[in-house]
Amino acid sequence: MENLEALMHGFDIALSGNHIFLMLIGVLLGILVGVLPGLGAPNGVSLLLPLTFGMQPVSAIILLSSMYWGALFGGSVTSILFNIPGEPSSVATTFDGYPMARDGRPTTALATAFGSAAFGALAGVVLITLSASWVAQVALAFGPPEYFAVYFLAFASFVGMGGSPPIKTLVSLAIGFALAAVGIDTVSGSVRLTMGIDELVKGVNFVVAVMGLFGIGELLIAVEDEFHVKAISSKVEWREVFRTLAGLPRYSWALLRSAAIGCWMGITPGGPTAASFMSYGIAKRLSPRRANFGKGEPEGIIAPETADHAAGTSALLPMLALGIPGSATAAVMMGGLMIWGLNPGPMLFIEQKDFVWGLIASMYLGNVVAVVLVLLTVPIFAALMRVPFFIIAPVIVIICTVGAYSVSNSYLDVMMMMGFGILGYLFKKLHYPLAPLVLAIVIGDKAEDAFRQSMLMSRGSLGIFFAKPLVTTLILLGAALLLMPVIWRTIGRMMPRTQARP
């Protein structure tokens, strides 16, 4: 009940004219970056970040999170109408969304996607409303060993459940940690890993990495394919929208299951992309209409969309309550929180009640705003897709360059952005995940500090991680997740052999 009261207070804050206006702007910008190839939620949010420094933190986070919702919706639009995923997390939506639209039912496909997306997001927000302050309460009792164990669990779940090759995930993660360590060590004050470049004392900023990895890298991937933008009618028939939305409850089992998968993957940082693929795969395996998948099956749209948005939303839960972002975009927002002078983690719920509950309330409103706005603007943004890629690409390159430069007015950052761009291209091409790298840059220092403080407490003995039940459980759970790929492979190898025997 206390939560409900706090939430009502949050609505008071979020429902001011100023904040509704920021929501509209944020959602529209979000749809724009979601639709454009090469710009996505992570770099869209990074680009807006410098512009929020003068704002109230709660206004700033409403703007940024609304942009996130907009981007999640925008990514689905291009997936369905053009078979071009605007966001990595909407790739799975192309499997059935595009065939349905191509067969003359674009409105049905869009409405199905937005309806289930809204349901997924709602599931995520409700989860946050109900459990965030409870999680924060538990986390208040955490000491450095517990924190390190939670970080360890978060990183392990990337490796075990992220869906990318585990060793590639590990390398990506470790590179992020190394980059986080560049510059002045906060504990000893000594300078680390600058490789003889004096300017690197300031460290590697996550915004620079995001601009390169997600901006330049994504563009290089996108340019490879020749775009054949076939004009599917992008007119929205409102009666069909309502009929489709009214028909959604028929798929309530699929909706609930996908929302659960999404929430789980969002909290344990598997991220929206992995969530949507996993949900699609499970839906296909369990559905009686399995043969229809890939040909425009509604459940094939519902499953990835619900999970995508549920994961995207619930990724903010660990960010707020523990200071561990559940996705790359959440990591960027958390970077923002730290720049605004807030300390993400359980103390937020005590010291910054207005901020936390204002944000949570704005998530309810922001998603409603996003559904309405995206339906209204589909034709406009669809027209944008007909602008040739060779015009869009230079514009995006220039925007990313300015974004990277403006972080600290440094040309070195622009050079690093190009380096990250090449790395991002190679990584994407070869199925190395990028989100762990960004996450590790943002919270690598904190994880390291937690480890070193634990070691100080125990005078150098690793035994501290096995001294209390909670820590031990978390560490063992993490270790189990790390070993998951190995276990799966062993089971996989044993299964055919046992079957082969008579």
Partner 1 sequence: MVSGRSLESATALITGAFGAAVVVSSLDNGIGWSSAGVDSGTFPFVVGLTILAGSVFNLVQGWLHARPVILRPSELRRLSILFFPTAVFVGVIPLIGIYPASAFYVFGALAWHKRGSLLDAALAAIGAALALYLIFELTFQISLPRGMLGTAFGF
The binding site for partner 1 (CB under 8 A) comprises 50-51, 165, 167-168, 170-171, 174-175, 177-178, 181, 185, 187-188, 190, 192-195, 216, 219-220, 223-226, 388, 390-391, 393-395, 397-398, 401-402, 405-406, 409, 411, 414-415, 417-418, 421, 423, 426-427, 429-430, 432, 448, 451-452, 455-456, 460
CB of 41 to partner 1, least distance (A): 21
Long-range Cβ pairs for the range 147-151 (8 Å, 24+): 147/446, 147/450, 148/447, 148/450, 148/451, 148/454, 148/465, 149/465, 149/470, 149/471, 149/474, 149/475, 149/478, 150/322, 150/324, 150/474, 151/324, 151/443, 151/446, 151/447, 151/450
CA gap 269, 276 in Å, rounded: 13
CB of 108 to partner 1, least distance (A): 34
Nearest to 264 by CA among 311, 303, 304, 319: 311
Nearer to partner 1, 357 or 451 (CB): 451
Amino acid 224 reads: E
DSSP string, 74-141: HHHHHHHHHS--SSGGGHHHHHHHHHHHHTT-HHHHHHHHHHHHHHHHHHHHHHHHHHHHHHHHHHHT
Nearer to partner 1, 380 or 462 (CB): 462
Nearer to partner 1, 335 or 346 (CB): 335
CB of 395 to partner 1, least distance (A): 7
Are 367 and 125 in contact, with CB atoms under 8 Å apart? yes
Q: Which residues pair with 184 in a beta bridge?
A: 191
CA gap 324, 268 in Å, rounded: 10
Are 23 and 380 in contact, with CB atoms under 8 Å apart? no
Nearer to partner 1, 96 or 445 (CB): 445
Nearer to partner 1, 185 or 237 (CB): 185
* Alpha helices for 248-352 (secondary structure H): 252-267, 271-286, 298-314, 316-322, 328-339, 348-351
CB of 383 to partner 1, least distance (A): 17
Nearer to partner 1, 1 or 195 (CB): 195
CA 435 to chain centroid: 8
CB of 44 to partner 1, least distance (A): 15
- At 410 the three-state DSSP class reads coil
Taking phi first (over 0 means left), then psi (-120 to 50 degrees means alpha), and beta for anything else, what does residue 388 get?
A: beta
Nearer to partner 1, 182 or 370 (CB): 182
CB of 401 to partner 1, least distance (A): 7
Q: Is 190 exposed, middle or buried (0-12, 13-18, 19+ CB in 10 A)?
A: exposed
CA gap 74, 306 in Å, rounded: 14
CB of 191 to partner 1, least distance (A): 8
Nearer to partner 1, 115 or 478 (CB): 478
CB of 263 to partner 1, least distance (A): 30
Residue 183: its H or E element = strand 183-184
Count Cβ neighbours within 10 Å for each residue of 26-47 and write b for 16 or more, e otherwise: bbbbbbbbbbbbbbbbbbbbbb
Nearer to partner 1, 456 or 467 (CB): 456
Nearer to partner 1, 390 or 501 (CB): 390
CB of 220 to partner 1, least distance (A): 6
Nearest to 279 by CA among 252, 251, 299, 249: 299
CB of 212 to partner 1, least distance (A): 11
CA gap 409, 386 in Å, rounded: 35
Nearer to partner 1, 193 or 476 (CB): 193
CB of 163 to partner 1, least distance (A): 17
